[in-house]
Amino acid sequence: MNELIPLMVIVPMMAALLISAFSKFDKVIRIFAFVVAICLPIIPLASNYGLHFFGGYQPIVDNVTNIVYHPAITYSFSFLQQIFIAVIGILTFLVVFIYLTKYKKVSGPYLFLLFMGTASVTALILTDDIFHMFVFFEILALAQVGIVAASSIDYSYEMALKYMILGSIGSPIMLLGIGFLLAMTGTVNVTDIVAIIRGGLLDITSPVFLLSLGLIFFGWLYASGLPPFHTIKSGIYSKAEPHGAALLQSFTVISMISIVIIMFRIYSVLPIFEVLIVLFSVIAMILGVSLALTQTDFRRMIGFLAVGELGFIGLGIGLGTQFAITAGLFQALNEIVITALLFIGFGAIVNATNEVDTRKLGGLLAYHPKVGIMLLIGGLAMAGVPPLSGFQSKLMLVQASLSCGYPELSILTIMVSIATFVVFVKTFYSMFLRPKPHDLEVVDKDVPRAMVFAMAVLLLIIIAFGLFPDIVTNGISSYVGGMLQ
Amino acid sequence: MKLYDQIFYVVKKFKELFSPGPVTNADVSGSITAEIFLIVSLVIASLLLRHVSILLAGLVTFILAIVLISNIPLIPKFKIEQEDSLEKMLFYAIIVLGLIVVFLYWGGTLV
């Protein structure tokens, strides 16, 4: 059933367009959005692995060089894509569910942005075409700007505009890099480019090839929110609605791994590529956690922690071995789930108190014990406490860096995990455990049930991945093994 | 007494960092943790240079440790540079782009 592969992109994209076009019919678009959101995680789970060639253009064999060329835009679907698209589908469903239950009248354009963002990241992880990747990277950036601008939080417009201005630097530079690559290889299909490089038909020491790496790498830094874009990335998370922020961070993680996998396939012949990734990942880990420790706005604090966690993913990929890349990708999967749980949980607290400053909060465990306990477990998972999912991926990263001969990176990984634990303990104490300040009014004592449901679902995934990591890591490891051959 | 005065000065600077608003023990503890974390992690990260040259790693680590410790508190300075100002974000974006290109152009074929 390879026909289902393009549907993973087409279904959310068509849903986005239809919802936007018929946004006047509130009840109809509510039901339609709910049904489509349920379908999103089911389609990848029901689909078989394989390739899809758009337009039906089959690969062509060059009889002189024996290289297989792919004239069509190709989607490649294997276990890695399946698990990430299924998780993003579950998250989109939960976010849409929270949104539909929160507002009496839903906004068609906002739902359009949520579904369009999901369609874009799905296309990003499926595509084997570097220009196709860029197109959806751009659509995703615009959807992210829209999601932030549409939130009712103060200064969200300003932050969205800043993100767009920075994007106007990052995106064209990435396109320029893709242009250089196209000029050198004559193709935008990643498999073809890799075949040309491995076949020795391209001089990898050429300044143009190196420059294309530099430019695409810079675009990747913007897409993934690694330094110097860590400030704006944490800023947009803090200015989006909590459920929107949960989805935004998952978009960031998926775009980060999609682009880095493509870059890895093309540029891993240059050892400096891995050095660059490790360098920026280490800086992200150090800056993200240091700045999270000094925040008093807990949404910003989670934003910086999310950026710091991206460093772990980059570290795994930068180390470049099968085990390390598997660890990095498993960490990416865990981060999507854990950070979404934290954003939704802390969003529930904002809903109840209308306050984001940890200095003005306190005693909330008495009012919201369920949310408090689920947030505590989510925070422990992020810090890497056993037996939760974050522990498994971080342990793999420590082992990977030790086996690669970099004990410094193992020490750094452990230190960042400890600092993450400190951030979370400090925030949890300030918000839930210390006595409630006299001037704090708990506006709405009931946390929306949809939020509690979403947190419970995400918590189950965290515990399942923590207890049985093999259900994910075996499949990812096989994919990575194939990629490294 | 000199070290005590220096630590006291760090705490005073942290108080300014959190103003306006009350400063709690948890906030100051968090900032001191961030300060120590920043120094130690940068020093450990600089040890990675041993893969290029052991002498270089030793020198850089030693000089970095002295520079960082003699410049505490670092976090207020870091925080000022990491604020939501578009000018600063653009400045660092351009600097990083320049560094990547230089790094690749002169170092791309060396490793």
The ipTM (two decimal places) reads 0.87
Residue A22 structure tokens:
């018929």
CA distances from A426 to A106, A296, A419, A431, B25 (A): 37, 10, 10, 9, 10
The secondary structure of residue A321, as a DSSP letter, is S
Tokens 């751009």, residue? A138
What angle do helix axes A108-126 and A242-267 make, rounded to 10 degrees? 20
How close B13 comes to chain A (CA, Å)? Answer: 13
CA A235 → CA A229, A231, A300, A302, distances in Å? 10, 6, 7, 10
Q: Do B24 and A411 touch (CB under 8 A)?
A: no
The overall longest dimension of chain A from CA atoms, in Å, is: 81
pLDDT, tens digit, 9 for 90 and up, residues A44-87: 999 999 999 988 888 888 887 777 888 889 999 999 999 999 99
Is B92 within 8 Å of A227 when comparing Cβ atoms? yes
At B7 the pLDDT is 66
Local structure of residue A229 (DSSP, 8 states): S
B44-83 residues touching A, CB cutoff 8 A? 44-45, 47-48, 75, 78-79, 82-83
Asked if A228 and B89 touch (Cβ cutoff 8 Å), the reply is yes
Using one digit for the tens of pLDDT, what is the confidence trace for A375-426? Answer: 999 999 999 998 899 999 999 999 999 999 999 999 999 999 999 999 999 8
β-strand pairing of A60-61 with A50-53? unpaired
Interface contact A287-B27, CB threshold 8 A:
no
CA distances from A453 to A101, A176, A334 (A): 12, 45, 19
Cβ contact A294–B34 (<8 Å):
yes
Residue A345: name the closest of A239, A431, A225 by CA: A431
Phi, psi of A40, rounded to the nearest 5 degrees: -55, -45
CB contact under 8 A, A214 and B42: no
Among B40, B90, B103, select the one facing A415 at the smallest CB separation. B40
- Residue range B22-38, pLDDT digits in tens: 677 778 888 889 999 99
Q: Is the pLDDT assigned to residue B1 strictly greater than 60?
A: no
> A444-466: per-residue pLDDT in tens?
667 888 999 999 999 999 999 99
A172 burial via Cβ count (<10 Å: 0-12, 13-18, 19+): middle
Higher pLDDT, B80 or B33: B33
Check residue A139 and give its pLDDT: 94
Measured in degrees and rounded to the nearest 5, phi and psi for residue A127 equal -75, 150
DSSP A88-110: HHHHHHHHHHHHHHH-SS--HHH
Question: Which residues from chain B sit within 8 angstroms of residue A148, using beta carbons?
Answer: none
When computed from its CA atoms, the radius of gyration of chain B, rounded to whole angstroms, is: 18
Asked if the Cβ–Cβ distance from A412 to B21 is below 8 Å, we say no
- Nearest CB partner across the interface for A296, out of B18, B40, B96: B18
B111: pLDDT strictly greater than 50: no
Q: Do B96 and A227 touch (CB under 8 A)?
A: yes
B82 interaction partners in chain A (CB closer than 8 Å): 230-231, 287, 291
Residue A93 confidence class, pLDDT cut points 50, 70, 90: very high
Query: In chain A, which residue's Cα lies nearest the Cα of B31?
Result: A294
Using an 8 Å Cβ cutoff, are A91 and A247 in contact? yes
